[in-house]
Structure 1
């Protein structure tokens, strides 16, 4: 499978949590947690269509003002999802500035908050001085926070010392692979029409749906969708990336993480402490590297990436990664506990 999502930890394993995921062919990106964003260019920030914040600890939200400044003059709406209370916290951040010169600015921010019960939506419009505008309640069935023709984002509520920290799964509903040699053989021109073609396939459109195909020699033809799939494409299970951070080492969290991450192509998961410091991990409501590896193994993920390491391990940066890798490979016997 060719990659559809291109993830990058902006600040590495020791810096503020912020996972930037570029979505291939769409010119879009998603951001999971909003720590320090100084390493992103303005161009990279403006590709972001959704921000998914696990919780509002300072290292997970400090980059919000950088993002706001980049988007302030844009004619777009940015989505931000987070746990219960995030709308008030964003309102507080926005109210800390003076907005007397933004009349007519088109930018708006849509905040969705959810935590296993009925969610809510609040819109903040620049042209309205970012005053909160309450929207209709949102049910978020099965924690589905965002649905797009090419991807969806689902959340799960994890316990982090008495507050909710959301874990996220980014999923491609169906992977549609294009055979470029088949396009060339039939004289079909590559281009934007392939995006619409993929959207039709993912949506389950009828095989008889007429689909316009531009020709390399000029002009275009119309082909039934089903025949076109047989000619130039094949489908398979979509790509899945799971992001988990700031979760207490308790059995309920283990079960939720395993279900969320099931069969992921990549699990990006926190590993602040070595398992030798499990008592400290429990006090701080975080996972250990061994627990992260064991959860990845339980979930049968293809790849594991650990991050959010405690500064205590700066002098031994490979220790946590190696502990997680060994647990992922099955070198430890005991399960999470």
Structure 2
């Protein structure tokens, strides 16, 4: 045990100086000069968007998920508007030109539904798990992400800033087209597009996580660390900064702003800081906390929708159930523990 502790201690002694370069990302040297005080709020209208999804049914050739997207708008820490969409995503497999393909159909539960349908190839490298074809269960989460971006575009005209939970990086085929539409809408409406991420995919030249490395050299209080890196990637049109949004918080976040609006980084940080005073999670915007809470689909809700579907299916349910992967080997093993 002492040897392990000694090894960890030596690893912690590594000094970082620069950010590790990767495709499209050129790091800026780490420096205490890059820390800035968080600006005071200017009373901007800030929209927060998040989503949740739960797979209700899964068979070899189809998957049914429930997706919920929630958005709210805050001004001076008061909620002034909100919007929610809820829909089913039915994914079924097919073949095209000898390739396995997943086709989606969307059915509304609450609110208007997405205006698009999506098809995905199972061997799409942006969806695959290593060398394995993409699992049909993953598609519900992808559609949820697309819907989050789409609803952000729909409300962009009602807010000065729109904040997504996560990143502005487009990782899945088809995502960039929807994100670019959001950028276009936002620029037309003079709305800033941003995202707040709890983690960072950027590392230093010593292999350390960027958030941790910045934290080690950080001053007291709330702050904005910028610039971080220069990005030249059409799938990642963002200006990155690191923020500590409340002096009483221990948490840092990766703040991303649409690259064409990078001059707005200090203003976005100021508005988020003003919204990050909730005692339950100081340093994290209350608007995102609320969005997460109202978008999340609990296990109880999931069971309710499954039961509702079962009742609606009537006599057909027995045939459907026979096709479902109700219990795979992992489920059985988990039930024995």
Q: Normalising by structure 2, what TM-score?
A: 0.23
Q: Normalising by structure 1, what TM-score?
A: 0.23
Higher relative contact order (CA 8 A, sep 6+): 2
